[in-house]
Amino acid sequence: MAIIDPYLVRSEEIVDRCREIDRRIAALEAEKSALLGARVQQLLDEVPPGADGFESAERSMFAEISAGLHISRAAAARALSTGWSLNDRFPATRAALAAGEISLRHAVVIVAGASAIDIADHEAAARYEELVVPYAAAETAPRTEAFAKSAAAAVAPESTTERHRRARVDRQVRVTDVDDGMAWLEILMPSPLAHAAHGRLTAIARRIRTTGAAEVGGAFHGPHAPQAGRELTDDDWRRLELFASMADDLQEPARDTRSLDEIRADIATDLLLASDTDLINESGIESIRATVQVTIAASTLTGADDRPAELDGRGPIDVDLARRLAATADVWDRLFLDARGMLTRADTYAPTERMRRFLRARDQRCRFPGCRMPARSCDIDHNHDHAKGGRTDLGNLCCLCRGHHALKHPDVDDRWRWHAIQQPGGVIEWISPDGRAYVDEPAPRVQFV
C-alpha cells in the first residue's frame, strides 16, 4: 500500500484549486473585454474616425473608463483597444479566453503581436490565430509573445520586413538621470546586436567573477584563467565555481565580490570610455564574437526572397542584418524541419561539439515549462542521470538552466526532487514530487511561406 504524503497531497490540491480560479478569472476577463470592445464599437457607430468631434468623443471615452475602473488613461486605452480587437479581429482568441484556455495576458500579447498584420486583412488574422492560439494554450504568455511575433511575420512577411528596415533609422543613444548620482545609458539598436553585446558582457563577467581572469587583447589572464583557445564546458564552469566557493578556506586571493550586473556595467563603461573605434559608416557586425542563434531560410540567405529571419526565442529580425551576420559567421548549421516546424536534423561543417549544437538549435531555451533562459546559457543535462547509467545521446540530453537543473539533482530530497523523462521528438515530461506530469515540447519554428 502506497504511503501518501499529506504535504504533497495538500500541494496538489492548492495547484488544482488555483487553476480552476484562473479559468473562472479568464472567463470573467473575456466578458469584461467584450463589453469594452462594445464600448469602442458604440463610439465608432456614433462618430466615424476622422469626423468632426471624433477626438473629443474618444478622449471622453478614455476618461469614462479610466475614472470608472480606477485605472490610468493609458491602461484604459489599452484595455479598450484589446477588447475591440478581440471582438472584431480575433474571435478564436476571444473564445479561448472565455473557455479559460488562455489568460488575459496571453490575449494581450496575441493582439499586440499582430501589429504587423493589416487591420483590414481578416484572412491573414485568421491564419495568425491558427498558429498562435494553440501555442498560447500550452505555453506561458512571455513565450507566446516571442512566438506571436514570428507567426505574424509568417502571414505578413513583406510588412514585417519593411517595418524592420524602417525601424533601423531610429537607432539612438539616450541618457536619463535618476537619483543618487546615477543615470541610465540606453542604446536602441537591432535586437541581434543587443543580445550579442549582452552575451559578450556576460561571458567576460562570468570569467572575471569565477576565475579572477580579465580579458586583455582578446585573451584572458588571471590565476585560474582558461587555456588560450579553449572553450570552457559546462562541467568546467561547475568545477571552477566549486573551486571559487572554497577560495577563502584555501587562502586564495580575495574573489571579486561584484554581482554580474555590476561587472557587466563596469565592462561596458570601460569599453565605451577607453576603447577606440574605427566604425565610420559600418554597424560593427564584422567585429561580433558573441553568440546569437539566428534562423534564416536558405532562399532568403541567397537573396532569392525577403522572408523575415528569426532571432531564436525572441522573434523576427531585419533580414538584411541576418544576411550580414551570416556572412561573418565562422560556422553555419543547416536545420531540417518537419511540417510542424519542429527540428528533425541538423548538419554542421564543424564536427566538434555536434551534439551540443544540435541540442541548442532544437531546444532554443531551458526545457523546463515556461522558462525562457537561452539555450546558450544553459547546461547540457542527462535526463536519466549519467551516474545511474544514462546514455550520452540526443534522446537523453536537453538544455536546462542552473536553477531548473538543480531541481533534479540526485542529492535533493525525494519530497522536493523533480524528474525529467525525454519522449520521442525531444518532448520532455517533468514529474513533480507529488507525481503530477508537465510536458514541455521543443519550440517550433514558424514556416515562412
Q: What is the tally of structural domains in the chain?
A: 3
| Locus of grid cell 577607453 | 274
Same domain, 110 and 207: no
Instruction: State how far Cα 154 lies from the chain centre.
Output: 18
Please say if the pLDDT value at position 36 is more than 90: yes
Which position has the higher pLDDT, 73 or 229? 73
**Does residue 327 sit within a domain?**
no
- Report the distance separating Cα 300 and Cα 304, nearest Å: 6
> Is pLDDT of 19 > 70?
yes
Domain that holds residue 277: 191-281
294-298, 328-332, 368-372: which has the minimum mean pLDDT? 328-332
Beta bridge partners of 216: 219
> What is the number of other CB atoms lying within 10 angstroms of the CB of residue 296?
19
Are 199 and 127 in the same domain?
no
Q: What is the average pLDDT across 3-9?
A: 82
Residue closest to 101 by CA, chosen among 29, 149, 151 = 29
Residue 446 forms part of a structural domain = no
Query: Does some domain include residue 404?
Result: yes
pLDDT reported for residue 248: 44
128 lies in the same domain as 242: no
pTM of the model: 0.67
Do 255 and 208 lie in a common domain? yes
Query: Is the residue at 390 inside a domain?
Result: yes
**Span 173-209, pLDDT tens digits:** 998 888 877 889 888 988 778 887 887 888 778 777 7
Residues 149 and 24 in one domain: yes
Same domain? 125 vs 214: no
* Same domain, residue pair 131 and 205: no
Q: pLDDT band for 327, please (50, 70, 90 cuts).
A: low
Q: Is residue 299 part of a domain?
A: no
8 lies in some domain = no
Angle at CA of residue 245, ends 242 and 248, nearest 5°: 135
Asked if residue 360 and residue 277 are part of one domain, the reply reads: no
67 lies in the same domain as 129: yes
**Residue 105 sits in the same domain as residue 195:** no
Q: Give pLDDT, residue 238.
A: 54
Residues 212, 85 within the same domain: no
For residues 86 and 358, which has the higher predicted lDDT (pLDDT)? 86
pLDDT at 432 over 60: yes
Of 342 and 105, the structure prediction assigns the larger pLDDT to: 105
Residues 150 and 27 in one domain: yes
Domain assignment of residue 388, yes or no: yes
Q: Does the pLDDT value for residue 350 go beyond 60?
A: no
Residue at a domain's end among 127, 155, 183: 155
Distance CA 423, CA 395 (A): 8
Show which of 281, 301, 336 is a domain's final residue.
281
Residue 286 scores a pLDDT above 70: no
Asked which of 246, 265, 281 is the last residue of a domain, the reply is: 281
Number of H helices, E strands in the chain: 15, 14
Q: Tell whether 332 is covered by a domain.
A: no
DSSP string, 345-380: EEEES--TTHHHHHHHHHH-B--STT---BGGGSEE
